[in-house]
Amino acid sequence: MPKFVVLVLSLLTAGLLASPAGANPLYPTPDPDPFFTAPADIGELAPGDVVRTRRIDTMLYPGTDGHQVAFRSTNSQGNAIMGITTVLLPIGVKNPPLVSYQALINSIGTRCNPSKSLFNGELQDAPGAMLPLQRGWAISVPDYLGPTVAYGAAKLSGMVTLDSVRAVQKVAELGVGSSPVALAGYSGGGMATAWAGAMQPTYAPELKLAAVVSGGIPADLELMADALGFAPHPGFGLAFAAAMGMEREYPDRLPVSEQLNENGLWFRDFTKDGCRRFLLFHGIFRNAEQMAASKELMTSEVARGVLRENSLVHYAGAPTAPTYIWQGRYDTLTPHGPVADTVARWCAAGAPVEMATLDIAEHMTAAAAGFVDAWNYVEDRFRNEPVPSNC
């Protein structure tokens, strides 16, 4: 996922000699289901206000009762948007604790959002997302990339996550209005989770979080861009998708489409609704040099500014909720250093943080290794056990 930053910088800093004039961002095909359409007066609602709810079929998840909640949230420009979250409740458990699980989306199509991918086979960590249900907890799985599926937009994902919790607690039928709440996620989902935890004191100060657990966090997008360079890589399809996702969220500051040649524009059109497996498959033999209008690069402070704005290491806020972070020491996808620097700053601010460093290099192996302790950390917080810290 984080390799997208290479492409963002590369495409934005390419020269304009051969670029098609006036190429606008390409947004995903809207979902035809009217449940996903925002009302005209969405801006009159407060963040976290409920727009509508419905029951859903949860045959794929036996022993659960399912609902979807549409709510008002905010994008990176401060404008009102509508968010969606899917809630699964363990049958027979009254007032269960609530876990907001930020899943691995890694996609730019509406059918790839958890509201759809939980049921169409596209959600790669669906089995892991169900683990809280086995402990008798309810889960809420938000479409945290917003209605335009703005893959890579970290600040956005934090706000949508917090508003999804606000909304779920307001739906009396769900019975979690006074339940303890935890946030959890890994990699892209970990980025959304960590941002939500850091933003909560200022964006949603009334929201009480019992725990925030997050791993594999892409904490410094600019650093990763510099380290990875412009070389081809097997994750190019995801990199390109994230560049398109960031452009959707920052159309004025990141006019990526204007930097694409005809081949790049074709690939953009071809992949605009793609999910993770489709994007990876079709990106294997492609690279940024084939897509940019010019190979001549220059430094773009605009691009770097947006990357910094979405890098947790540069965000001034700190969590006040009990927080557990785990990161692979040798993870080449999401470097350990910026996460450790962020945690050190949080510790200096008095945040109740525990960080676990795993001597693991492979990104997804660290996910499996770390979630066991992370879920135990959440359970201890739900039981009001003393909060540990290794600051």
6-23 pLDDT per residue, tens:
455 555 444 333 344 447
Q: How many residues does the chain have?
A: 391
- Which positions ≥6 away from 278 have C-beta within 8 Å? 237, 271
Residues 256/246, Cβ–Cβ less than 8 Å: yes
Closest to 86 (Cα-Cα) out of 10, 171, 152 = 171
Q: How confident is the model at residue 139 (pLDDT cuts 50, 70, 90)?
A: very high
Residues 197/159, Cβ–Cβ less than 8 Å: no
Q: Each residue of 224-283: pLDDT tens digit? A: 766 655 567 777 888 889 889 999 999 988 888 888 899 999 999 999 999 999 999 998
Task: Please name the residue ranges forming H helices in 51-153.
Answer: 114-120, 126-129, 131-134
pLDDT the model gives residue 11: 52
Q: How many CB atoms lie within 10 A of CB 68?
A: 18
Q: Each residue of 43-61: pLDDT tens digit? A: 999 999 999 999 999 999 9
The one-letter amino acid code at 244 reads M
pTM summary value:
0.93
pLDDT the model gives residue 8: 54
Predicted confidence (pLDDT) at residue 297 exceeds the cutoff of 90:
no
Mean pLDDT of all residues belonging to the chain: 89
E strand or H helix at 162, and its extent? helix 154-170
Residue that has been written with the tokens 């994007």 in this structure? 279
pLDDT the model gives residue 24: 85
Whole-number Å distance between alpha carbons of 218 and 312: 8
Whole-number Å distance between alpha carbons of 183 and 197: 8
Burial of residue 350 (number of CB atoms within 10 Å: 0-12, 13-18, 19+):
exposed
Whole-number Å distance between alpha carbons of 227 and 30: 36
pLDDT the model gives residue 379: 97
Whole-number Å distance between alpha carbons of 390 and 369: 19
Closest to 157 (Cα-Cα) out of 230, 93, 217 = 217
Domains of the chain: residue spans and CATH: 1-315 (3.40.50)
